[in-house]
Structure 1
Amino acid sequence: MIQTDELRGIITKRNMSQASVAKAIGITPKTFYGKMKKGVFGSDEIDKMISLLKIQNPAEIFFARE
């Protein structure tokens, strides 16, 4: 399960919107919002977000345990 609050914080810190991140990783904003709500992204989408958002510790966000 993805730590969506943490991810939202990083997106904001990078002065980006969720819609711009969605477009950059190749999905629609609607799909992105749905995935954020569920807390589930594909591995290719995660890889793109790590690179795009320059995430230093991706395991803490994308591979968090409940």
Structure 2
Amino acid sequence: MVDLNKLRGKIVEKGLSQQELAISIGIDRSTFYRKMKNGGDFSIGEVSKMADVMRLTNQEAVEIFLSNKSHKRDAMKS
């Protein structure tokens, strides 16, 4: 699962907007927003491009994109 909080934080830390990141990885802004809203259902190619654009270390990419944290599961517990 994607850790969306970490992803959002990293986007801000890198001085990007979600729209700029979407354009940089070659997907429509609305598609990017929908994927963010629906738990980060990004393709491997999109993840790879995001890691490149944001210059993530391997560790950062793993922490963000291979997180064991499930936002849907956590929301259901509340």
In the superposition, the TM-score normalised over structure 2's length comes to 0.80
Q: Percent identity?
A: 38
Structure 2 counterpart of 1:8, one-letter code: R
Aligned residues: 66
Q: Does 1:64 align with 2:57?
A: no
Q: Which runs of 5+ in 2 are unaligned?
A: 70-78
Q: Distance in 2 between matches of 1:17 and 1:4?
A: 14
**What SS does the aligned partner of 1:8 have?**
helix
RMSD (Å), alpha carbons: 0.8
Structure 2 counterpart of 1:11, one-letter code: I
Flag as ranges the 4+ runs of structure 1 deviating above 2 A. none
Q: Distance in 2 between matches of 1:37 and 1:6?
A: 14
Q: Distance in 2 between matches of 1:40 and 1:24?
A: 17
Aligned to 1:35: 35
In the superposition, the TM-score normalised over structure 1's length comes to 0.94
Any idea what the Cα deviations from partners look like across 1:5-30, whole Å, max 9, x if unmatched?
10111110111100000000000110
Please identify the structure whose Cα radius of gyration is greater. Answer: 2
**Mapping for residues 1-66 of structure 1, pairs under 5 Å:** 1-38=1-38, 39-56=40-57, 57=59, 58-66=61-69
Structure 1 counterpart of 2:17, one-letter code: S
